[in-house]
Amino acid sequence: MKILHTSDWHLGLMLGEHDRLHEQRLFLEWLVERACELSINALLVSGDVYDVVNPSLAAQTLFADFVVKFYAAMPTAQLVVIAGNHDSAARLELPKPFGEALGRIHLVGQLDVSSAIIPLRDRQGKACAWCLAVPYLRPSDLDCKVLDGETVDEAFIRAVTSLYSSLKQKAQQADSELPIISMGHLTVAGSARAGAERSMIGGVESIPVSAVADGMDYVALGHIHRSQKLGADHVRYCGSPYAVNFDEHSAQHQILLIELAQAGGGVIVTSLAVPRVVDFLRFPKEAGTLAQVQESVQQFDWKPYERLPRDLRPFVLFCFVSSEQATDLRKGVENLCSQLPIRYAGVTYSNALLASNGTIRIEHSDLRSLDAPTDVFLKHMERQQIQVPSPVLACFREAVAHVQMQGGAA
């Protein structure tokens, strides 16, 4: 079998005041083309289809258009989509009756053990692999009763391990000759974040790789935006297919082609690079004064960008080290933006301070940071000389993440 693995599309994503729908549409068109060229049997999407649980109508339309185009272009291929922590389970499953009627579109928003084992079929309709379609899990989805001597986190890990083990056993009982693919949207212990992933709500941050990988022929993971394998070649985060923010723009963005034989026969994993259609530019590369920022902009060759449509213009971040007034910086940035073929993404501001020993100390303030509300909260409590207990801080971060995933500015 030939299977494509992708995740973390974050449809409807905003960067600054700009949406990313055009470049996301280009990616989805490319994905359908590659699926056709490769004659795949299945496409697996491991969560975070949308960026927020209340996505715009345009983002929902983009996903619906993709599903229709994939179905029309691939007469025998299956599509399996699980919800991530950014997705609304109910919203993702809204078109589920249509998918069931068509017979090869599987939209899994919430855990249903009775239908979580999906047979992946070849072009003749013969089952050739099992897919364990497990969406993002919350403690309420599982039996997480805390046993004597256990922490809440340990109880959750035990429940997740038990779920995957149970599903694997059921698949093997149905046909032990078929390879098994497990899907999941979670943080596996030892994984390296890319920087833009939001904290999980209602679950622990790290699950042992053995919980989702033991006895599996391939593990298709989502949530972490950096492509990587976890210990073994068959346990993979494919990563996001494009940069979600400036922290990710230098990473390799890809989808994965998985080639399977029989159970226990191993897999061949091939990385397919996703074409980059939008550039991310930082001026200057190292933070500087307003004059230095202006100079770096003036020396840059803008000709390749001048004829680009607005939706494909580069995102630009200005990086300052300055003691100048905020009003002066704002006017300087406005003047720069008005003259350039760019999309303004924000600024970082670094305050250079002279330490008592004569050295220069830099304090950074990133106005794009998702942790900005938490930083403000902690600084306020510090000024009040109040130590924030860890459980209170965890609750605050959970509240901020919940607002952000609802689509609020937090």
Which tens digit of pLDDT belongs to each residue from 165-187? Answer: 999 999 999 999 999 999 999 99
Q: Report whether the peptide linkage leading into residue 284 is cis, meaning its omega lies within 30 degrees of zero.
A: yes
CATH class of 280-369: alpha beta
- DSSP code for 318: E
Assigned token pair, 241: 């297919």
Q: Where are the beta strands (DSSP E) in 149-276?
A: 180-185, 218-222, 228-229, 235-237, 254-260, 267-273
Please give the average per-residue pLDDT across 7-11, as a whole number.
97
Q: 117-155, pLDDT tens digit by residue?
A: 999 999 999 999 999 999 999 888 888 888 878 888 888
Percent of the chain, pLDDT > 70?
A: 83
396, 374 contact by CB (below 8 A): yes
Query: Taken in order 216, 222, 228, 231, is the CA torsion positive or negative?
Result: negative
Domains of the chain by residue range: 2-273, 280-369
Asked if the model's pLDDT at residue 323 lies above 70, the reply is no
80 versus 152: the higher-pLDDT residue is: 80
Place of tokens 């470049």: 23
Please give the average per-residue pLDDT across 294-318, as a whole number.
94
Confidence of residue 409 (pLDDT cuts 50, 70, 90): very low
How far is the C-alpha of 31 from the C-alpha of 74, rounded, in Å?
12
Place of tokens 């003749």: 124
Place of tokens 């965890």: 394
Element of type H or E holding 349: strand 343-354
- The whole-angstrom distance between residue 82's C-alpha and the CA centroid of its chain comes to 13
Mean pLDDT score of the chain: 86
Q: What is the CATH number of domain 2-273?
A: 3.60.21.10
Radius of gyration, CA atoms only, the chain:
23
pLDDT at 133: 97
Please give the average per-residue pLDDT across 65-71, as a whole number.
95
Confidence of residue 355 (pLDDT cuts 50, 70, 90): very low
pLDDT at 140: 85
Q: How many CB atoms lie within 10 A of CB 212?
A: 26
Please give the average per-residue pLDDT across 195-214, as a whole number.
73
Q: 233-250, pLDDT tens digit by residue?
A: 899 999 999 999 998 888
How far is the C-alpha of 249 from the C-alpha of 278, rounded, in Å?
10
Assigned token pair, 158: 């035990």
